[in-house]
Amino acid sequence: MVVIVTDLDSFPVEVDLLKTVKDLSEQVQDVIGIPAEEQAVLLDGRPLDPTKTLSSYESQGLNQDSLLVIGKRPTGQASGSGAIGQRGGQSQGAAGGE
Q: What is the pLDDT of residues 11-62, one digit of tens each?
A: 999 999 999 999 999 999 999 999 999 999 999 999 999 999 999 999 999 9
pTM higher than 0.75: no
Q: What is the pLDDT of residues 70-91, one digit of tens each?
A: 998 877 655 554 444 444 444 3
Look up the domain containing 48 and give its range: 2-72
CATH no. for residue 31? Answer: 3.10.20.90
Contact between residue 16 and residue 43 where contact means Cβ atoms under 8 Å apart: no
Instruction: State the Cα–Cα distance between residues 97 and 83, nearest whole angstrom.
Output: 24
Q: Would residue 90 count as lying in a domain?
A: no
Domain count, the chain: 1
C-alpha distances (whole Å) from 34 to each of 45, 53, 56 are 19, 21, 24
Per-residue pLDDT band for 7 (boundaries 50, 70, 90) equals confident
Count the alpha carbons within 13 Å of 42 in the hemisphere toward its beta carbon.
16
